[in-house]
Structure 1
Amino acid sequence: MVVSNTENKRKWDKKFFCVYCKTMQAKLPRHLERKHASEIEVAQILSLAKNTAERKDKISALRALGLFQHNTGVFKTGAGVLIPKRRPKEPTTPTKYLPCEKCGEFYVKKQLARHQLKCKKMANAGKPCGRDRSVQARSALLIPTGKNASTRFKCLIMSKMTHDGVFQEIATDKLIQTFGESLLEKLGHEERHHRMISNRCRELGRFMLEVKKIDSGVKTLTELITPSKYQTVKKGVQNVAGFDFETNTFKTPSLALKLGQSLKKCACVLKGSFMEDNILRHSVDDINSFLELVELKWTTEMASKAHRTLEERKWNAPRRLPLAKDIVVLNKFLLKEDARLCSQIIKQPSVNTFEQLTEVALCRTLVLNCRRVGEVQYMHLKDYKETTHIDEDSDIFKSLSDSEKALTKKLRRIEIRGKKGRKVPVILTEDMQSTINLLVEKREECGVSNSNKYLFPSLRHESGHYRAHVVLRKMAVASGAQNPSSLTSTKLRKHVATMTQLLNLRTHELDALATFMGHDIRVHRQYYRLQDDAMELAKVSKLLINLDKGKLSLMKNRNLDELVVASDESLSEDEEIDDLEKDEMPINSVGNDITSFPSTSALTGHATEKFFKNSSAESVKKSVTMKSKRRHVKPRPWSQDELVNVRQFFRGFIHLKKVPRKEDVQKFLEKHGAQLHQRSWSDVKWCVKNSFSKILE
């Protein structure tokens, strides 16, 4: 670029491009009057009085059009001098400049949005300039970005990219554009995939910038799809993904994995284009050799290290699932906000109230159903309106209980598109339905475009939607939850899968839960159902302790809940036997009376006589009286139902011929106490003892 000054003074040598003769002219108005007076635009200018504002505006428009044609030619050919509206004082790169989408003058990217606030043509068009990035994205479309990029790819993908060095790499690389167009052809029918396509292309652009630092002779990605450049490709991926040779790990392992997949697809895309060309068909062998080399080495040298890095980061990492009280706090907050905003929007509809109520409705739907954020935020308005009600005459409906039938009448089920095209349901309660109905009713009044197809629309974009994870994070913080960072959609889904382990769900019930969550039962068990530390210690350790004691063979056909381990298994063998003997002592034995007597073997001769003399006669009399009272109590016989309940619950103890402790019996009484007619815990313990002692038949 030409600068505007020298070492001592300013230069006045700026020239302009003539749109008619394609030459540079220092005095463009005089040149137009002398050489092109017969042109329609020039004739209109000459018909106006000199020094008038209208004449100056028309001359400026022709001057801007000429400079735009010249500058776009510089970008297209990669040669020449760029002429901006204001030349820089110091040398700089042309990539820092973009044209105004109305007047065509080139400005520094950071000042482009400011210029459009003053641009006369932009003011006449009545179009809002928008944010800096959106202005730059629209202006970047005016610059030639590549001979082979389709208009659809430019408008949908490249127009939304940040105009930086990575963008320039994509704009000048034919293979990256072709790769992006192949993804757009496959996934472009859904707008939500456009961001992913843009990210994959930008990853390749970042990769190319690193490769050019390693090998300055490489210009395009096509030159790397050959066996001789495999090491260059490998080093480029290592650099961009931050590979540490000392620890043999990646800083960004997911980027290394995605780049490996993208490079393989680029090779396949290039192979397909070469096979269609008779001249380039001989180069297919090099591409096949490159793919074979990647297949042989990439997994060992790159992918395995990236996967290992990802796995090691999960080891001993804190797995903080949402607390039940945090979920309750969040739900109470959402209900309160829902009621407040609904009353406000009914009395006085406003854009701010509509936006807040939309966020609350989106968050409530997400939390209730524990859906993925990408499923709820993309819900369509037509899916909500076309929901069908349950057929009450169906056989399945008739087989439900009364409470389940009542739920089906109150709840609303919507089927939406989930991950990998699966059909997943979303359930809405009555109050959630009333809130969404209110939002649908106020859409047009609050400025939602008719072209917006989403159920939770964003007013900031004509066809946009709210990002569910951002809304959930905002609501979690605002609710005052103790640990708002744990209230994410993924952790809520894992919380559901983990807590259901406390229930004794059968196989078909687990299948139904996994289907509702939108994944396979194997994925449900492997990735979502986390093994809590306490549960792992309590249940799995029972198996290991019994195995260590040699008792596992006695517990065949038992599950983890039915395994029995004494609470003091860590004691020695003798201590354990003594403790069991104490537990098995009858409740009406001498040792359990108020006055205990030492054994006769422990006292002899004079010691025995001294002991009885010193003993209180009253205590002896009281003891004998209590013993006599106990003998007069008639034992209550156990009914058959009571015996079945006891033996079923304590089958593990009976099988091991082991007396249950008080805490074990208390658990049984909490569950079956109402059916035992006020039996004490000691009665139950002795029932178990008699069961394996063959006293009761």
Structure 2
Amino acid sequence: MCKFKPVNPKPGKTRVQALCAFAEPTPAGVSEELWKLVNNMNQDAVAHAVRSDWCIMEMGKHLYNKHGFEVDKHEYIRQKLRELGRLCIRGGEVTNMKTIKEYVIPANFMQTVDAVKHTAQGKKGNSKSLPLKLGHSLKRMSMLLESDAIIKGDKDAAEEARAFRSLYDAKWHELVSVTSLKSLNESKWNAPQLLPFTADVQKLHNYLDEKQQQYQHDLKSEASSHNWATLAKVTLAQVILFNRRREGVMSHYRGSDCIRQFVQLCDVKNPLSLTSTRLRKHMATLSKVLNLQETELDQLADFMGHDIRVHRQFYRLPEGTLQLVKISKILMAMEQGRLADFQGKSLEEINIDPTGMWFLLKSIL
């Protein structure tokens, strides 16, 4: 088998372009693995810009040396390279710069700012995070160029790269980042907090269990590729729903697509809340009410694949919800004549047991 054969070639014209790209000899100084990764992306003008720009390929080598051994990071590498490729194309519409190397020349700094802003305003709308990502990539690019210049003994080029970083540190936040961060924060403020309803999650569990038994029976009755595929999809959805982990890039089926397909079929109240990402947040958020010890919370965060600081900062119930739960328990205690249980305690000192908390959350969420 040809080692350059695409893993999942796209149909039609894109597939033909990909195969043609694989037929090209690997450029000098570029590993076969990186060349294969680059040619596995969509074969369009952006891919051509990536392959033809020396600096972008140098960034590719840097990222592949750092993350290439992790297959699930390959898409991240392609994304970073495509971002720079889009900058090269879109930036050429408003500046006279043709290569990424020109974007990190100090004298071109204001042109670079204009190009980044123009690139973020693409055909698919204004990307609020792209200017931040491109800024980080350009700063990293200046570091790579400085290292290359030092190795070659080119003091002027090394100094030029350092000068770009000085400008970046002094002016980028003011000219680019502050606007992007403001837009991102406003989007978060205005976005509704969609967490899965407990009843919807239970309904999805039951639906998947029912379909698993049906598809197992179908496969035993007729060993066809269709029956195997339907069972594989429902099994993948069950694994993601049970583990609340990120989906892998090691399968022919996308876990998020499988979840979305079965959510649409099981007639839940709020299908938009039942995505793989929101299901992860659902578990992490509700775990905050269990009064877990430090080590236990750390184990949960590790299982979910993120740092404990991320768990605390981003996966937490809003304070209003926590306070509502505690106040609801006080009201229930008053109704049951057990208010003395909380005598002398503030809201922060009230510990909610998991059973009672689960009952309250079912009614609230």
How big is the shift at 1:308? 1.9
The counterpart of 2:263, out of the listed 466, 473, 476, is 476
Q: Which residue of 2 aligns with 1:207?
A: 87
Change (3 A) 1:229 1:474: same
Q: Which residue of 1 aligns with 2:21?
A: 140
- Determine if the alignment matches structure 1 residue 263 to structure 2 residue 263: no
Change (3 A) 1:234 1:146: farther
- Determine if the alignment matches structure 1 residue 289 to structure 2 residue 163: yes
Alpha-carbon distance in structure 1 between the residues aligned to 2:339 and 2:133: 58
Q: Which residue of 2 aligns with 1:117?
A: none
After TM superposition, the score normalised by the length of structure 2 is 0.81
Letter in 2 for 1:239: H
Q: Where do 1:83-482 residues align within 5 Å?
A: 131-143=12-24, 149-157=30-38, 159-216=39-96, 218-242=97-121, 251-278=126-153, 280-373=154-247, 377=248, 454=250, 457-458=251-252, 466-482=253-269
Change (3 A) 1:147 1:235: farther
Alpha-carbon distance in structure 2 between the residues aligned to 1:162 and 1:223: 25
Letter in 2 for 1:178: E
Letter in 2 for 1:347: S
Deviations 1:599-621 (A, max 9, x none): xxxxxxxxxxxxxxxxxxxxxxx
Letter in 2 for 1:137: A
Alpha-carbon distance in structure 1 between the residues aligned to 2:175 and 2:150: 30
Deviations 1:349-386 (A, max 9, x none): 2211111111111111111121122xxx35xxxxxxxx
Change (3 A) 1:538 1:359: closer
Alpha-carbon distance in structure 2 between the residues aligned to 1:469 and 1:170: 28
Change (3 A) 1:163 1:366: closer
* Structure with greater proportional helix content: 2
> 1:497 aligns to what SS in structure 2?
helix
How big is the shift at 1:168? 2.7
The counterpart of 1:498, out of the listed 285, 288, 301, is 285
> 1:141 aligns to what SS in structure 2?
helix
Alpha-carbon distance in structure 2 between the residues aligned to 1:171 and 1:308: 34
> 1:167 aligns to what SS in structure 2?
helix
How big is the shift at 1:538? 6.4
- Determine if the alignment matches structure 1 residue 649 to structure 2 residue 345: no
Alpha-carbon distance in structure 1 between the residues aligned to 2:172 and 2:330: 48
Gaps of 5+ in 1: 1-127, 244-249, 379-453, 459-465, 543-559, 568-644, 656-670, 672-697
Indicate if the aligned counterparts of 2:94 and 2:118 stay in contact, CA closer than 8 A: no
Q: Percent identity?
A: 32
Letter in 1 for 2:130: L
How big is the shift at 1:219? 2.8
Indicate if the aligned counterparts of 2:26 and 2:32 stay in contact, CA closer than 8 A: no
Alpha-carbon distance in structure 2 between the residues aligned to 1:481 and 1:647: 37
Letter in 1 for 2:277: T
Indicate if the aligned counterparts of 1:514 and 1:521 stay in contact, CA closer than 8 A: yes
How big is the shift at 1:142? 3.5
Gaps of 5+ in 2: 1-8, 347-355, 357-365
Q: Which residue of 2 aligns with 1:15?
A: none
Letter in 2 for 1:134: R
Alpha-carbon distance in structure 2 between the residues aligned to 1:647 and 1:155: 68
Indicate if the aligned counterparts of 1:322 and 1:486 stay in contact, CA closer than 8 A: yes
How big is the shift at 1:498? 3.2
Alpha-carbon distance in structure 1 between the residues aligned to 2:70 and 2:297: 32
How big is the shift at 1:530? 2.3
Letter in 2 for 1:155: K
After TM superposition, the score normalised by the length of structure 1 is 0.44
Count residues with an aligned counterpart.
336
How big is the shift at 1:180? 0.9
> 2:263 aligns to what SS in structure 1?
helix
Indicate if the aligned counterparts of 1:145 and 1:172 stay in contact, CA closer than 8 A: no
Deviations 1:534-574 (A, max 9, x none): 544565xx7xxxxxxxxxxxxxxxxx97799x99xxxxxxx
Alpha-carbon distance in structure 2 between the residues aligned to 1:162 and 1:534: 44
Deviations 1:465-517 (A, max 9, x none): x2211111111112222221111122112222333455454555444433433
How big is the shift at 1:256? 0.9
Letter in 2 for 1:184: Y
Indicate if the aligned counterparts of 1:149 and 1:174 stay in contact, CA closer than 8 A: no
Alpha-carbon distance in structure 2 between the residues aligned to 1:333 and 1:563: 36
Select the structure of larger CA radius of gyration: 1
Indicate if the aligned counterparts of 1:330 and 1:479 stay in contact, CA closer than 8 A: yes
Letter in 2 for 1:490: T
Letter in 1 for 2:47: F
Deviations 1:322-373 (A, max 9, x none): 1111111111111111111112222322211111111111111111121122
Indicate if the aligned counterparts of 2:95 and 2:115 stay in contact, CA closer than 8 A: no
Q: Cα RMSD (Å) of the superposition?
A: 3.3
Change (3 A) 1:485 1:526: same
How big is the shift at 1:146? 5.8
Indicate if the aligned counterparts of 2:121 and 2:127 stay in contact, CA closer than 8 A: yes
Change (3 A) 1:513 1:200: closer
Change (3 A) 1:170 1:509: closer
Q: Which residue of 2 aligns with 1:107?
A: none
Once structures 1 and 2 are overlaid, which stretch shifts more, 144-153 or 180-189? 144-153
Indicate if the aligned counterparts of 1:370 and 1:492 stay in contact, CA closer than 8 A: yes
Alpha-carbon distance in structure 2 between the residues aligned to 1:151 and 1:497: 41
Change (3 A) 1:485 1:152: same
Letter in 2 for 1:258: K
> 1:321 aligns to what SS in structure 2?
coil
Deviations 1:78-122 (A, max 9, x none): xxxxxxxxxxxxxxxxxxxxxxxxxxxxxxxxxxxxxxxxxxxxx
Q: Which has the higher contact order (CA 8 A, sep 6+)?
A: 2
